[in-house]
Amino acid sequence: MSPLVKVDVHDSVAWVTLDSPPVNAINGALIDALSGALDAQAPPAVRAIVIRAMPGAHVFSAGHDVRELPTDGRDPLTYNDPLRRVVRRIETHPLPVIAMVEGSVWGGACELVLACDLVVAASEATFALTPARLGVPYNLSGVLNLMKVADMHFVKEMLFTARPVPAGRMAAYGVVNAVVPIEELEHTTAEIGTAITGSSPLVIRIMKEELRVLANAHPLTPEAYERIQAQRREVYDSHDYQEGILAFLEKRRPVFHGS
């Protein structure tokens, strides 16, 4: 298995550990390794999957690798972008996927975590949706994925402020299933995994797919889709988009002009 991802199977639960220092930035190499690890898990040997960072991680994942965001006028979040690919892989995987979170989760990594079927977080964990801080026009399916797990006002607060939100508040809004002290994190996650392994994998597989299909059942006219895409292009063709990426790479606050 790639050194970027480690897999250990205990009691029919596959523990998939992200190990791409320093911050598990979501890039092509990490997503290829993670997708390969997910594809290798199947019943009867495995009945549930846990995605985690290395024990003691201060950063679960810093989100999309900013250095892989295009600056030549291409859409930064297209269908085949690594982040989009791994979110779909998690959503369509026949096994339940549990995100076990310690440390801070940033940007697209929040969507990766929230695409999992359950989320168990350490008390100190935080979640920050940061596209607005980087000048990145999040894409439709990404925004829908956030709306599927949280109330609209909470999603807008996270997207508009880009501030880290403590795990306890995420749980209060039903986004995180359980928040526990760091020393109980693995045990609590393992208990949930074991409870799942006692159920019919066939029934879980179809219920997971039923929920995915129903949650994605949002009619959208071609005109509405094209209008949104045109607005997104206005953003990734803008000064603000270039400035957001440059400011990050130059380790300074961005100066946005709204154009």
Catalytic residue among 63, 107, 135, 138: 138
Q: Is residue 153 exposed (0-12), middle (13-18) or buried (19+ Cβ within 10 Å)? A: exposed
Determine the residue with CB nearest ligand YXS: 107
Based on CB atoms, which residue is closest to ligand YXS, 96 or 108?
A: 108
Catalytic residue among 64, 93, 103, 241: 64
| Binding footprint of ligand YXS on the chain (CB under 6 A) | 22-23, 25, 59, 62-67, 104, 106-108, 130-131, 133-134, 136, 138
Active site residue 108: yes
Contacts of 52 (CB under 8 A, 6+ apart): 15, 16, 17, 18, 99, 100, 101, 102, 189
Question: CB of residue 239 vs ligand YXS: minimum separation in angstroms?
Answer: 17
Based on CB atoms, which residue is closest to ligand YXS, 108 or 201?
A: 108
Active site residue 64: yes
Contacts of 7 (CB under 8 A, 6+ apart): 1, 14, 15, 16, 17, 37, 40, 41
Based on CB atoms, which residue is closest to ligand YXS, 107 or 193?
A: 107
Q: Are residues 108 and 201 in contact, defined by beta-carbon separation less than 8 angstroms?
A: no
Q: Which residue is associated with the tokens 């000048």?
A: 135
Question: CB of residue 109 vs ligand YXS: minimum separation in angstroms?
Answer: 6
Q: Is omega for the bond preceding 22 within 30 degrees of 0, making it cis?
A: yes
Based on CB atoms, which residue is closest to ligand YXS, 106 or 154?
A: 106
Residues pairing with 6 in the sheet = 17
Question: CB of residue 111 vs ligand YXS: minimum separation in angstroms?
Answer: 7
Based on CB atoms, which residue is closest to ligand YXS, 49 or 134?
A: 134
Closest CA to 109 of 93, 86, 91: 86
Catalytic residue among 63, 103, 107, 108: 108
Q: Are residues 82 and 109 in contact, defined by beta-carbon separation less than 8 angstroms?
A: no
Question: CB of residue 69 vs ligand YXS: minimum separation in angstroms?
Answer: 6
Q: Are residues 170 and 121 in contact, defined by beta-carbon separation less than 8 angstroms?
A: yes
Question: CB of residue 252 vs ligand YXS: minimum separation in angstroms?
Answer: 12
Active site residues: 64, 108, 138
